[in-house]
């Protein structure tokens, strides 16, 4: 349950409400984040100053008031932050299923689980203060003793996600306009979404735009910050995560759906990309309410 108490763990970070893993406010000491963070939760890291960090080994830099969004088992590593502490909101999919609430906040594919966009959004001072106030209210709320308490906490979380999604979508729209004269990134995403299960060959995707592999790879890396091969790998891993979390399908069937030759090869590929086996991922992240309602 959420509590108002605080205590230090032996991992050099302060955890508020340690006795209930579903939804917590945490205050990390930055030296802890230098070693990396990778857990089966959704995270919103709250930064009120510029920072340098990596997410799944892709380097990023941000300026000003920034919110960073991490999906379960994404690897975050801090490179530079001017303060000694960084606050975070952590929640489990059992507490708030972003896919189930997609109509209310539209955050899945915008804030979370988007391999094509930066995993953070910079916001103006007014929005940042409004989101920070929501976090502080959640921090002081006290025990989740009733369903009413849980509903109120979910409402605060939903407001944070809705404000962030709106800001991020506006920035995506502006970025698309600014790069419209370059390679059509939206068209590339459409092609990748259609063919990532059928072919991993970069030459195939380069051919769709009449470019050599080298020229295509440079353009994609320049605009998206990742190579085409990394994007293909991430897209396959993301689909695997979705099937493990959002369906009740056996792992063997998921492997077949993703065109892996067998369950063993799929498990090895998934563990290399995500860091845990498909079984452990499903055990820790859980099977969502979306899957349960489909039965």
137-145: Cβ within 8 A, 24+ apart? 138/2, 138/23, 138/25, 138/89, 139/4, 139/16, 139/25, 140/4, 141/2, 141/4, 142/2, 142/3, 142/4, 143/1, 143/2, 143/3, 143/4, 144/1, 144/2, 144/20, 144/23, 145/1
Domain 6-172: homologous superfamily in CATH? Regulatory protein AraC (2.60.120.280)
Q: 185-293: CATH homologous superfamily?
A: Homeodomain-like (1.10.10.60)
- Is a pLDDT exceeding 50 seen at residue 20? no
pTM above 0.85, yes or no: yes
Q: Is the pLDDT of residue 4 over 90?
A: no
Are 123 and 164 within 8 A, CB to CB?
Answer: yes
285-288 contacts at long range (C-beta below 8 A, 24 or more positions apart): 285/40, 285/72, 285/73, 285/93, 285/241, 285/244, 285/245, 286/92, 286/93, 286/94, 286/245, 287/244, 287/245, 287/246, 287/247, 287/248, 288/93, 288/97, 288/99, 288/100, 288/245, 288/246
- The segment(s) of the chain belonging to CATH 1.10.10.60 are 185-293
Could you report how far apart the first and last alpha carbons of the chain are, in Å?
A: 29
Residues 6+ apart with CB under 8 A from 140: 4
Read off the pLDDT of residues 237-294 as tens digits, 9 standing for 90 and up.
Answer: 999 999 999 999 999 999 999 999 999 999 999 999 999 999 999 999 999 999 988 8
Q: Which residues pair with 51 in a beta bridge?
A: 62
Indicate the pLDDT class of residue 208, thresholds 50, 70 and 90: very high
Please enumerate in sequence order all residues whose Cβ is within 8 A of that of 166, keeping only pairs 6 or more positions apart, or say none. Answer: none
State the residue for tokens 């103006």: 124
- pLDDT-based confidence at residue 24 (cuts at 50, 70, 90): confident
Cβ atoms 89, 44 nearer than 8 A: yes
Query: Which residue matches tokens 């390679």?
Result: 183
The whole-number pLDDT of residue 9 equals: 38
Q: Where are the domain boundaries for CATH 2.60.120.280 in the chain?
A: 6-172
- Residue 273's closest CA among 233, 229, 241? 233
Mean pLDDT, the chain, integer: 87
Band of residue 145 on the pLDDT scale cut at 50, 70, 90: low
Task: For residue 6, name the pLDDT band (cuts at 50, 70, 90).
Answer: very low
The residue among 108, 115, 170, 139 whose CA lies nearest residue 46 is: 139
Region 8-36: mean pLDDT is 66
Q: Tell me what pLDDT residue 3 has.
A: 33
Q: What's the pLDDT at 23?
A: 86
Residue 143 has pLDDT above 70, yes or no: no
**Residue 168's closest CA among 207, 110, 237?**
110
Does the pLDDT value for residue 48 go beyond 80? Answer: yes
H or E element that contains 186: helix 185-195
Average pLDDT over residues 163-167: 94
The 10 Å Cβ neighbour count of residue 145 is: 10
* Nearest 10 degrees: Cα torsion 223, 226, 230, 234: -80
């Amino acid at each position: 349950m959420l509590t108002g108490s605080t205590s230090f763990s032996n991992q050099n970070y302060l955890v508020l409400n340690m006795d209930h893993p579903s939804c917590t406010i945490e205050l990390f000491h930055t030296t802890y984040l230098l070693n990396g963070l990778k857990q089966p939760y959704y995270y919103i890291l709250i930064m009120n100053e510029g920072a340098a960090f990596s997410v799944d080994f892709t380097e990023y830099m941000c300026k000003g008031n920034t919110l960073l969004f991490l999906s379960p088992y994404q690897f975050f590593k801090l490179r530079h932050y001017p303060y000694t502490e960084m606050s975070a909101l952590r929640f489990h999919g059992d507490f708030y299923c972003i896919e189930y609430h997609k109509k209310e906040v539209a955050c899945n594919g915008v804030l979370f689980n988007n391999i094509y966009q930066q995993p953070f959004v910079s916001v103006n001072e007014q929005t940042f203060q409004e989101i920070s106030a929501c976090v502080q209210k959640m921090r002081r709320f006290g025990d989740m003793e009733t369903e009413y308490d849980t509903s109120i906490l979910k409402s605060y979380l939903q407001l944070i996600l809705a404000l962030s999604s709106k800001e991020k979508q506006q920035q995506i729209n502006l970025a698309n306009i600014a790069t419209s004269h370059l390679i059509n990134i939206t068209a590339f995403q459409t092609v990748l979404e259609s063919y990532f299960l059928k072919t991993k060959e970069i030459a195939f995707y380069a051919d769709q735009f009449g470019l050599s592999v080298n020229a295509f790879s440079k353009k994609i890396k320049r605009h998206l910050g990742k190579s085409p091969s990394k994007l293909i790998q991430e897209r396959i891993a993301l689909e695997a995560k979705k099937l493990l979390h959002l369906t009740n399908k056996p792992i063997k069937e998921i492997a077949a759906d993703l065109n892996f030759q067998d369950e063993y090869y799929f498990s090895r590929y998934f563990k290399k990309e995500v860091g845990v086996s498909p079984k452990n991922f499903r055990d820790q992240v859980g099977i969502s309410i979306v899957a349960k309602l489909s039965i």
